[in-house]
Amino acid sequence: MPLPYYVSPEQMMQDKAEYAKKGIAKGRSIIAIEYVNGILLVAENPSASLYKISEIYDSIAFAGAGKYSEFENLRKAGIRHADLKGFMYSREDVTARSLANGYSQSVGTIFSQEQKPLEVEILVVQVGHNGHANEMYRISFDGSIIDERTFAVIGGKAEAIQALLKEKGLTKPPDLREALSLCIASLEQIGSQKLSLESLEVAVLDRTREGRRFRRLSAADTKQLLAT
């Protein structure tokens, strides 16, 4: 009788991590950066219908990199959770922190208990208002959660873009035009190619807006903003 094949827990986790990283590495990068009136999100995304950046709740946005079907399921689950919590309690009880913690637990459970991990990395961001600071959380494929400041990057070339943005030494939030130019320049420099505005997905969480603070910027909006 042949002996059962044995893999140590450490090796199994390492293999899962490598598998997830390879999947995420295929995904194009997404940048979230604080600007004067909120948070700007920019993704390299040639698709006009498959969004990588979406609204979750009044002042909360979600972005996913990696396998689209997997982070899309996470997005939908987040919306359901936010809607239910806002309905049962109050809209103020729905926060990026609580959503990020929920995502961290779900993704981490799948990583540790399922044979196949999720090939995703996600961002949950909330624009601050009434004196509250912005919040940006990055959740990795293993459920680890990182509280980011100033900017956050996910996707295949995240580390290189993070290093590039750190070199800029941002000491205060730029205006929207400057933040957008910085994101586009960083994506182009790391990708070594010029990006068309049509290949970018751009959205903002604008604290000056009443009610829902999420707004998408079309290619025409982006062009106009860069020209001002």
Confirm whether 3 is domain-assigned: no
Beta carbons of 181 and 226 less than 8 angstroms apart:
yes
The answer to the question of residue 190 being in a domain is yes
Please give the pLDDT value at position 179: 96
Q: Which residues of the chain have pLDDT under 70?
A: 1-6
Asked if residue 129 is part of any domain, the answer here is yes
pTM of the model: 0.91
pLDDT tens-place string over residues 144-161:
999 999 999 999 889 999
Q: What is the per-residue pLDDT for 48?
A: 79
Q: Give the domain range for residue 158.
A: 26-227
Domain with 32 in it: what CATH number?
3.60.20.10
In a domain, 19, yes or no: no
Question: Would you say residue 1 lies in a domain?
Answer: no
Residue 74: inside a domain, yes or no?
Answer: yes
Let me know if residue 178 belongs to a domain: yes
The pLDDT score that the predictor gives to residue 191 is: 80
Whether 10 is in a domain gets the answer no
What is the number of structural domains in the chain?
Answer: 1
